[in-house]
Structure 1
Amino acid sequence: MASTIHDLPEALLSHILSLISEPRFRNSASLVSQKWRILERHTRTHLTLRGNIRDLLFHLPDCFTYVTHLDLSLLSPWGLSLSSSLSFMDEPSFLLARRLHLAFPSVISLTLYSRSYCTLSLFSPFFASIKHVKLVRWHQRPNQTPIGSDFVTIFENSGILRSIDLSCFYYWTDDLTHALEAYPMIGKNLVELNLLNFSLSEGFKSHEIIEITKICPNLKDFRIVCVFDPRYIGYVGDEALLAIPSNCKELRVLHLADISQGDRDIDEEGFSSEDAGFSIQSLVGFFSGLRLIEELVLDVWPNVRGSWVCLEALASRCPNLRSLELGCFHEICKAIESHLDGIALCQGLESLTIKNSADLNDFGLIAIGRGCSKLSKFEVRGCRKITMRGLRTMVCLLSKSLVEVKVSNCRYLDAPASVMAVEPIRDRIRRLHIDCIWDGEKPDNENEDELAVLSVDEFNELETKDDDDMIEEENRMKKRCRMSLDAESWLMMNGNIREYSTSNGYRLKTWACLEFLSLWIGVGELLTPLADVGLEDCPNLTEIHIKMEGDCRERPKPSQGTFGISSLVRYPRLSKMKLDCGDTIGYALTAPSGHMDLSLWERWFLNGIRSLTLNELDYWPPQDREVNQRSLSLPAAGLLAQCDSLRKLFIHGTAHEHFMMFLIRIPNLRDVQLRCDYYPAPENDMSTEMRVDSCCRFENKLNARQIPD
């Protein structure tokens, strides 16, 4: 007798449904039958609410009683205080809290936008059962706010709070330390504390880090922005560094990152102007106390010289380490002959990120490839001595494990060199980041012949040799690879030599497993050469991130009519895009004669986007920092309205109401968000860009349409 999936036991069917993470797929599954709907609701644990705040009480779903993780931070108008939005009601606090508590009785993790500390009082009934809370705020902290009041309401009502995430919440560092001192039992219960927020005006000082770790001795996951620069009072030195493992002995995850991420003084050689305020001996002691550590980030700004010594201590004393990120660490690997040292001894690493290591060269990369043989993710940024040959050799050594590579801001690794370096794993790599520098600087001692792949004649010569000659030739090529860092030799040893043996010396290469591509490109440059560097055939590419950066005011008017975004049509499965022009600076309304304003630049960026079949688009408009304006322009609104396939459109900025009305023309558009998720978020709520009534009118028209599923 034939059977179907409906005949499976409920326990097994529930397990299958619990493995589905995409909300749209879950919604489709719930429409199959009444049985499936019940099972889907019982297995859904994460829910993000969108819509208008004013409708929160009247249209709140009541069928998700098993949801444990609730996100209320994306309610629109985004960033508006909940208390002010419900001011038309007599008792908004009581009604809202009661309604939410009945609709989501199982919530243990809550995310919400708290523009004012008064907002948290609305959710005080929730906090008795909350174990994890994430606060979001990009608006400036109100000056009249009492010290620590943003956290007092939570701490007063939470008895089992285990995790706090403030990575997207603007506050003063004094607020948190003051609140933790007033509620020490909260600190003792915490196992996760995320303070990695680069929008803060200053990082945590040395004494604040020591105090936090004393109050929270049971932390297993601790992330924080610090001040490492010894020229500043309260910089992180030996005392604070050694206090962290001494006070928190159970740490598994630790992130220490310098607050000056975007403004670092690094010279042409890759060194910062100052040396770190802690010693190598202190680092050895620091690593010795982190015996349970699994993920470690030390992204400092001043130089850490001679670090191979402490990294060897890290390798021997932290056997569980799987992920490591280092910033401004120099001499991480001496790479003398065949001897492995320094970071190459961390043989259990699966993820490694190296930033601004001034003396890391090709020999160091090869040593890392030999020693860290389990790496599945590798990122290199700001390393100015490595070349394509060294990176390619490392990639060949890790060809069985490496699936994610990021290369950025490296002097000799432009787009063609970066793609050529990772080409040996093109049949297995899944995620890739490169800088779109089409004709970058070449090493002085490297000529074009050394960079090129082996010629057809060389391959034809090899094919005519007998077995003994081939063995001798292979040994010669092995020696050549070791001595001259020629990565193509390793391809022959791996049996991939015939990949290049074609009639014209080069054939179209397919990146069969590449699913995610991330690009950095300077403003004014074209995207069209992307295919020419070797990324023409990516049949499974589904998501792309493009980061545009630069000052439009210093650029001439582009000679080409478009940025080239339509060239991405060659990727047939591309459905998600993030186009980030947020760090593109220009004139909003005051462009001098002969200069383009931002609206004309936006037209240039987005021209041709209608040819792509995108389902989701995140767009950061360019900005005029003089007036803190990041707003969608008229040409941008008109071009986005031509994207007929869009279902989700998130604009990370503001927009005029009549510009937003253009988007109603998109037939399949279901979800539109205006997010001012940058610091400082605009404060002028009375402008036509931020007015609550404008958002409401747009949402009413959007939701009143008949949208095909």
Structure 2
Amino acid sequence: MATTINDLPEPILSTVITLVFDTRTRNSLSLVCKKFRSMERATRTSLTLRGNARDLHRIPICFTAVAQLDLSHLSPWGHALLSPSAANTDPLLLAQRLRDAFPFVTSLTVYSRLPSIVQIVSHLWPGLRRVKLVRWHQRPQSPLGADFDPLFSACQSLSELDLSEFYYWTEDLPPVLESYPNVARSLTKLNLLTTSFTEGFKANEIKSITAACPKLQHLLVACMFDPRYVGFVGEEALLSISTNCPELRVIHLIDTTSLANAHGEPDDDGYTAEDARVGRAALIDFFSGLPLLEELVLDVCKNVRDSGLALEVLGSKCPRLRALKLGQFHGICSAIGSKLNGIALCAGLESLAIKNSADLTDMGLIEIAKGCCKLAKFEVHGCKRITVKGLGTMACLLRKTLVDVSISCCKNLNAAGSLRALERIRDRIQRLHIDCVWEPEDAHGFDLDQVNVDDYVGDGIAVNRNGDDGGDYMDLNWAAECENRSKKCKLGMDGECSYMPPSNGNGNGNGNGNGFWYGESWERLHYLSLWVGVGELLTPLPSVGLDDCPNLEEIQIRVEGDCRGRHRPTQREFGLSCLAGYPCLSKMKLDCGDTVGYALTAPPGQMDLSLWERFFLTGIESLCLTELDYWPPQDRDVNQRSLWLPAAGLLSECVTLRKLFIHGTAHEHFMMFLVRNPSLRDVQLREDYYPAPENEMSTEMRVDSCCRFEDALNRRPILD
């Protein structure tokens, strides 16, 4: 008799199923037989509930081992979870049902519009160790700390608190931490990167928080570094962090203006009008007090000059450092002579992001590649002096490790230039972000046929004889090697050299015009992120070098700009149909949330947002998407981000969709278009933008409207 997996002892089979983490795979396992179903349910430890809290009978009771529970997506979005208006039933009955269904929850995510929600869930699960609170609505008028006081009083074992998506005041937290010192001392992770802040935490608040939580290992804070404001974060606040919390392993200190996620202006020189009040000596003391540091983000949005020496100390005093992001730091790598300096001495880095470094040049990139030879992820944003040549050299030097690259808002790196710079590692890149800027390519192209080794002097690295610092730098040894190999060899996956006939010299076929072969396709690329200015087209994307991505699974497109004042585009569609050439593409995030226009009041001759939505979404029916996150354009004057009729009709034609998350509001009769889609199983309306509308318009989705749509969606037969 043949032996099957069912013959395995139950403890071994249970262990095998426990090692499966993908949700859909686990669901498929549960359909094999009753034994698999019971074991899968008994071993699942993480669960996200969607649906409607009013349907008590649909709350699953078979996942008793769940420790991580997410209740933040229960619809109707934004209404109090345990209230009669949301559940249409006794809130105490719902609370007891949740407690019986999930008795061992230690990690909870919940939408808490009112302080009473925190109070109820804290008493349901007093053993909570990790809590994430979500609220996009305005903070209610309540005493300081009212949202946190019930949590700290009931959950004495709390160790992690995430407020990154919670609308509150910075003054709310410090008094509660001081009132519950035992809980504060047990906290190890604190995420305060709240995007709703306009000013962020002040220096005295950061001192109070770090003094109350000496055992912190992860600290993420939205700060105010602008010295023009009272209470700005300066040297004293930085030193208090390292003094009060010496065990910190992860630190993110980000100015609130950076959290706005604006793209930036490529023509700026990179320097701000004001300097940050953070000097080199203070940075050295700050780094010296954090010997366990593994990940650091310092995005101050104000000039930090001559930072190279401080970064050298960072590399020596923090040997565990693996991830680093710097914003508005200048002088990070002087690139003088052959000796490595500055950030290039942080040899253990595996992830590096450089933002708005005004004096970073191609030579600096080459030094960074030589010193940080373990880099797997590299991000550059707003660096105006780097070119295709420097980035291409860096990519070559890091060919064996670099798999994740992001290039954004760099004046000399448009879409074609960015892809040309990465040509040598195109067969290794797994994740990529570029800006869809279609201007003519920069004159400083990266062409090996034009490299003359005699133009480079010095030991290993040198400048060209013209004395420019605009990007005409090259690594001498690498250039000489390229010249020797470029006759009749190709660069394989393992970096070895082997003979091949010369290419046809036009950059097509198996070569790039220089005798090198780097792979015809982006064969490992599975995630692509794009930034597109409003009014621009996506259509040129395949023609600039991204035509062959056989394994691309997920794409994120962010459209940003002001539609007001723009006339109708000359083309009928934005260009989503050009993505049909990616055979494995199944997930898309289309973010038009930073596209601003007129909701219903467009002047004569200009387009309202409904017509812009038609422009953006035309062609989506040609894609075989299973998951779509869509942020509609918005009218900030009336705080409205809504799905309009053309968008509803186009989305309903994408017949392969299983999950559709609309980050905004919608009319009920528009949503009913989606019921015709036979594959849709999970549709959510999420008003996740600050501030979420307190009272929707009479014709938009309310509680009853949302319930009617959900009922219509659930009445359809679902084949799987």
Same fold by TM-score greater than 0.5: yes
What corresponds to 2:281 in structure 1?
A: 281
Letter in 1 for 2:255: D
Q: What SS does structure 2 have at the residue aligned with 1:54? A: coil
What corresponds to 2:573 in structure 1?
A: 562
What corresponds to 1:485 in structure 2?
A: 473
What corresponds to 1:526 in structure 2?
A: 537
Confirm or deny: 8 A CA contact 1:54 1:86 kept in the other structure.
no
What corresponds to 2:15 in structure 1?
A: 15
Confirm or deny: 8 A CA contact 1:265 1:273 kept in the other structure.
no
**Superposition pairs for residues 107-506 of structure 1, below 5 Å?**
107-142=105-140, 144-261=141-258, 262=260, 268-439=268-439, 442=442, 446=443, 450-452=445-447, 454=449, 483=464, 484-485=472-473, 489=479, 496=490, 501-503=502-504, 505-506=506-507
Residues 1:475 and 1:629: Cα distance change in structure 2 (over 3 Å): closer
What corresponds to 2:675 in structure 1?
A: 664
Aligned counterparts of 2:149 and 2:461: Cα–Cα separation in 1? 66
Structure 2 residue 80 is the aligned partner of structure 1 residue 81: yes
Confirm or deny: 8 A CA contact 2:415 2:434 kept in the other structure.
yes
**Superposition pairs for residues 583-594 of structure 1, below 5 Å?**
583-594=594-605
Q: What SS does structure 2 have at the residue aligned with 1:528? A: coil
Q: Deviations over 1:370-393 (max 9, x none)?
A: 000000000000101000100010
Q: Deviations over 1:423-458 (max 9, x none)?
A: 11111110000000011673xxx45xx544539xx9
What corresponds to 2:512 in structure 1?
A: none
What corresponds to 1:507 in structure 2?
A: 508
User: How much does 1:474 deviate?
Assistant: 14
Residues 1:329 and 1:266: Cα distance change in structure 2 (over 3 Å): farther
What corresponds to 1:100 in structure 2?
A: 98
User: How much does 1:555 deviate?
Assistant: 2.4
Residues 1:122 and 1:481: Cα distance change in structure 2 (over 3 Å): same
Residues 1:46 and 1:481: Cα distance change in structure 2 (over 3 Å): farther
Letter in 2 for 1:182: S
Aligned counterparts of 1:502 and 1:428: Cα–Cα separation in 2? 21
Confirm or deny: 8 A CA contact 1:654 1:689 kept in the other structure.
yes
Which sits farther off after the overlay, 39-48 or 413-422?
A: 39-48
Q: Deviations over 1:174-214 (max 9, x none)?
A: 11112112111111010000001121132000000000000
User: How much does 1:480 deviate?
Assistant: 10
State the aligned residue count.
Answer: 687
Aligned counterparts of 1:556 and 1:86: Cα–Cα separation in 2? 44
Residues 1:402 and 1:482: Cα distance change in structure 2 (over 3 Å): farther
Q: What SS does structure 1 have at the residue aligned with 2:378? A: strand
Which sits farther off after the overlay, 202-211 or 179-188?
A: 179-188
User: How much does 1:3 deviate?
Assistant: 2.6
Confirm or deny: 8 A CA contact 2:164 2:194 kept in the other structure.
yes
Aligned counterparts of 2:484 and 2:321: Cα–Cα separation in 1? 31
CA RMSD of aligned residues (A): 2.4
Which sits farther off after the overlay, 101-110 or 115-124?
A: 115-124
User: How much does 1:491 deviate?
Assistant: 5.3
Structure 2 residue 690 is the aligned partner of structure 1 residue 679: yes
Which sits farther off after the overlay, 121-130 or 259-268?
A: 259-268
Confirm or deny: 8 A CA contact 1:267 1:273 kept in the other structure.
no
Q: Deviations over 1:332-373 (max 9, x none)?
A: 001112110000000000000000000000000000000000
Residues 1:340 and 1:130: Cα distance change in structure 2 (over 3 Å): same
The sequence identity of aligned pairs, in percent, is 58
Aligned counterparts of 1:563 and 1:155: Cα–Cα separation in 2? 50
Q: What SS does structure 1 have at the residue aligned with 2:95? A: helix
Residues 1:46 and 1:296: Cα distance change in structure 2 (over 3 Å): same
Confirm or deny: 8 A CA contact 1:333 1:360 kept in the other structure.
yes
Confirm or deny: 8 A CA contact 1:73 1:136 kept in the other structure.
yes
Q: Deviations over 1:93-127 (max 9, x none)?
A: 3x222221111111100000001111222213234
Q: What SS does structure 2 have at the residue aligned with 1:21? A: coil
Q: What SS does structure 2 have at the residue aligned with 1:47? A: strand
Residues 1:360 and 1:86: Cα distance change in structure 2 (over 3 Å): same
Residues 1:501 and 1:599: Cα distance change in structure 2 (over 3 Å): farther
Aligned counterparts of 1:535 and 1:583: Cα–Cα separation in 2? 25
Aligned counterparts of 2:148 and 2:655: Cα–Cα separation in 1? 44
Letter in 1 for 2:62: C
Q: What SS does structure 2 have at the residue aligned with 1:149? A: coil
Confirm or deny: 8 A CA contact 2:337 2:462 kept in the other structure.
no
Q: Deviations over 1:60-85 (max 9, x none)?
A: 11100011100000001111112434
Letter in 2 for 1:288: S
Residues 1:119 and 1:188: Cα distance change in structure 2 (over 3 Å): same
Aligned counterparts of 1:704 and 1:453: Cα–Cα separation in 2? 63
Structure 2 residue 552 is the aligned partner of structure 1 residue 552: no
Letter in 1 for 2:71: L
TM-score normalized with structure 1 length? 0.93
Q: What SS does structure 2 have at the residue aligned with 1:212? A: helix
Letter in 2 for 1:303: N
Q: Deviations over 1:662-709 (max 9, x none)?
A: 000111100000001111111114633231000000000000110122
Confirm or deny: 8 A CA contact 2:190 2:216 kept in the other structure.
yes
Letter in 2 for 1:53: A
Q: What SS does structure 1 have at the residue aligned with 2:122? A: coil
User: How much does 1:481 deviate?
Assistant: 9.2
Confirm or deny: 8 A CA contact 1:195 1:225 kept in the other structure.
yes
What corresponds to 1:31 in structure 2?
A: 31
Q: What SS does structure 2 have at the residue aligned with 1:618? A: strand
Aligned counterparts of 1:124 and 1:228: Cα–Cα separation in 2? 35
User: How much does 1:269 deviate?
Assistant: 1.4
Q: What SS does structure 2 have at the residue aligned with 1:123? A: helix
Aligned counterparts of 2:501 and 2:148: Cα–Cα separation in 1? 62
Residues 1:499 and 1:284: Cα distance change in structure 2 (over 3 Å): farther
What corresponds to 1:604 in structure 2?
A: 615
Structure 2 residue 628 is the aligned partner of structure 1 residue 634: no
Aligned counterparts of 1:391 and 1:199: Cα–Cα separation in 2? 35
Aligned counterparts of 2:501 and 2:677: Cα–Cα separation in 1? 46
Listed as ranges, the gaps of 5+ residues in structure 1 are 463-471
Confirm or deny: 8 A CA contact 1:334 1:341 kept in the other structure.
yes
What corresponds to 1:468 in structure 2?
A: none
Q: Deviations over 1:504-541 (max 9, x none)?
A: 52225211100000000001111111011111000000
Confirm or deny: 8 A CA contact 1:48 1:72 kept in the other structure.
yes
Residues 1:493 and 1:578: Cα distance change in structure 2 (over 3 Å): farther
What corresponds to 2:547 in structure 1?
A: 536
Confirm or deny: 8 A CA contact 1:375 1:402 kept in the other structure.
yes
Aligned counterparts of 1:202 and 1:700: Cα–Cα separation in 2? 43
Which sits farther off after the overlay, 252-261 or 174-183?
A: 174-183
Which sits farther off after the overlay, 263-272 or 228-237?
A: 263-272
Aligned counterparts of 2:90 and 2:167: Cα–Cα separation in 1? 29
Confirm or deny: 8 A CA contact 1:474 1:493 kept in the other structure.
no
Aligned counterparts of 2:719 and 2:203: Cα–Cα separation in 1? 57
Q: 1:582 pairs with 573, 593, 596, which one?
A: 593
